[in-house]
Structure 1
């Protein structure tokens, strides 16, 4: 379906033309007519399918014809990175519109707080906010949300995972009860999302697209390895490869710097991003990576969702994510917008059951690539047996010497 078929105003179409948006994605084709009708909506779509534009375009189209002096739309998101990304997309889509927007997120910068307070006091058309910081501003008494027409939750499942349920409900209490459209977007649809929808949405229409499935353009594979082999394997996999953008996801931030050091030791341009970095440092690292000044980003799940960076060549899961659904979001950083990419996961002995659950979730038997011949054999991949034994792994007897590669072992 072409965007020109939606009947958007000329100002919105000019923005789409400038950004070279011609054909709607499936989630856009199905949700935009519903949103334009004014109905509440609960939509489930995987990352990278264009759901941000699916709700932004109808809202912007309505603002063109409105005479709004106060905030018209409130968008809640789980992270500051996603808030900034959406604010940037609004700026692009509304280039030919007189629409104002503001990203509201946490930080210790007083100037940032004052900037947010000024914009909230004056009434930006669209507010994109993380729940915690939005609550802080609302409690100060200078925010007027009485004219809000659209209440949008993006990455709702992640917000609930992060414990924002009460914050969401508190923010909702500041909004008008009548003449308000509620839109809930989520990558997954667990019972807690259903419960939230019942509280916030009125007779919503529901759209489900490709629930918890990786994009078709992702080539998925795995290596079954011991932990002490992972750094060497990453280096060997990347040597001599013409890859411009790589993300390596690590579950624990304590390991991130170790991976970066191993890569830099082998002359790779790598940087780390995790929650210990302050706001400005995180923004700078992402900017450098997005501009291709950094080849490899080693990250915790802080960037697994919501960061829209095109042409990621390779995603490596240094370890298996604890939540099976997080796997989809991690490898979803590549093969976005119908491109292709590769997602590789390192599976150690204790993570085999979790990886098996991922395979069940996405209904795919992910190919296990044999380790290079110079490496010591990895652990046997037999998750079914481990599940029967209650997930307890049988440890092999060892003489205390564990070679990373066969060639390192000298008898």
Structure 2
């Protein structure tokens, strides 16, 4: 279905064309007409399906052609990275329709707070916000939300996982009624249904490809101890050219040790976690997107919502406890029509989490072993019976932090302003590696 088949205004169609959007994706094809008609929506679609544009396009169409003096749309998101990304997408689309927007999130300094305050008090057309920072502004009394007509909860399941339910309900108390409310979620647990009953009014539902990774992802599982993971990864990448890879680790205190270890193995790498300050995170992410280095080490702060083009590999240094998190991690590759590779390392302590993934997929995954010729020693043995019993000790942190010696080689803010409409290599295996048996 082409976008010109929707009842969109000409300036919005020009904006869509400028972003090189081709035919509408399934989530866009089903969600856009519902949103244009003004109804509430509960949509379930995994990342990489075009769900952000599925609500941005019709909301921009409405905001650009509905009378309002203050903010008309509020988008709540779980992380600052996602807020920035959506704001950038609105800038691209809003360039043609004259809509204004700003991302409101924590972790920044005084000038950014003042910029957010100005936009919230003067009324940017669209606000994209993390719940905690938005509440901090709301409590000071200058936020003008009396004309909000559209509320979006993006990554709603993630926000609930992060404990934002109370914040969401508090924010709702500041918003007028009636309004259009849209919930987008990658999964549909009971708590999402419960929240939908509380805040949605006679919603229509759209559910697509829940909890299934794209068929274009080559999923590879390797049995590997902590001291074998990165040397094995270096070997696996020997025959790969033009690598662009995100390596996920479940513990933020292992990000920098893994980066140092990868560098000693000859792989250019940088890392980000929730401990990184906002300026650093934006700079590292921007450099990675610009292909200035091939390997980004990150915690799950990046697993949802962040769109990085042409990502060739996703590596799970450890197995996520929640199989849904596994789906979101590997969903960073094989975006749109591209292909990708997902590599997951399994140590003895993580075997029970592999069983959860298998139950989700309703099939057993192949567990590969380390090639003998690498001289890294034998792979751990997968013991399904022991794992299914939930046995085995699970460390709460690294037993030994990696070091360069031990491992071997293991955004700028825009000012708020009213916009005017415009026209149209393998390394020798080192002696030890980062330990990260806790996820």
> Is the structural similarity TM-score above 0.5?
yes
1:341 correspondence with 2:340: yes
Partner of 2:21: 21
Secondary structure at the counterpart of residue 52 of structure 1: helix
- Quick one: distance in 2 between partners of 1:132 and 1:390? 36
- Quick one: distance in 2 between partners of 1:131 and 1:116? 14
Compute the displacement of 1:393 (Å): 6.9
- Quick one: distance in 2 between partners of 1:148 and 1:7? 22
- Quick one: distance in 1 between partners of 2:222 and 2:121? 53
- Quick one: distance in 2 between partners of 1:245 and 1:346? 18
Partner of 1:400: none
- When residues 290 and 316 of structure 1 are mapped into structure 2, their CA distance, relative to the original with a 3 A threshold, is same
- Quick one: distance in 1 between partners of 2:189 and 2:348? 28
Partner of 1:162: 162
Secondary structure at the counterpart of residue 350 of structure 1: helix
Q: Does the 8 Å CA contact 2:40/2:182 hold for their aligned counterparts? A: yes
Partner of 2:259: 260
Partner of 1:242: 241
- When residues 98 and 230 of structure 1 are mapped into structure 2, their CA distance, relative to the original with a 3 A threshold, is same
- Quick one: distance in 2 between partners of 1:120 and 1:291? 32
Partner of 1:36: 36
Q: How many pairs are equivalent?
A: 396
Partner of 1:321: 320
Partner of 2:142: 142
Partner of 2:116: 116
Q: Does the 8 Å CA contact 1:226/1:378 hold for their aligned counterparts? A: yes
- Quick one: distance in 2 between partners of 1:208 and 1:391? 36
Partner of 1:151: 151
**Structure 2 counterparts to residues 2-401 of structure 1, below 5 A:** 2-178=2-178, 180-374=179-373, 375-387=376-388, 389-392=389-392
Q: Does the 8 Å CA contact 1:244/1:313 hold for their aligned counterparts? A: yes
Secondary structure at the counterpart of residue 192 of structure 1: helix
- Gaps in structure 2 of 5+ consecutive residues: 395-407, 409-428, 432-439
User: Which structure exhibits the higher relative contact order, with contacts defined as CA atoms closer than 8 Å and separated by 6 or more residues?
Assistant: 2
- Quick one: distance in 2 between partners of 1:275 and 1:63? 33
- Quick one: distance in 1 between partners of 2:270 and 2:301? 14
- Quick one: distance in 2 between partners of 1:108 and 1:176? 29
Q: Does the 8 Å CA contact 1:220/1:367 hold for their aligned counterparts? A: no
Compute the displacement of 1:408 (Å): 9.7
Partner of 2:417: none
Secondary structure at the counterpart of residue 229 of structure 2: helix
- Gaps in structure 1 of 5+ consecutive residues: 395-403
Q: Does the 8 Å CA contact 2:231/2:430 hold for their aligned counterparts? A: no
**TM-score, with structure 1 as normaliser:** 0.93
Partner of 2:405: none
- When residues 280 and 65 of structure 1 are mapped into structure 2, their CA distance, relative to the original with a 3 A threshold, is same
- Quick one: distance in 1 between partners of 2:218 and 2:81? 27
Secondary structure at the counterpart of residue 344 of structure 1: strand
Aligned-pair Cα RMSD in Å: 1.7
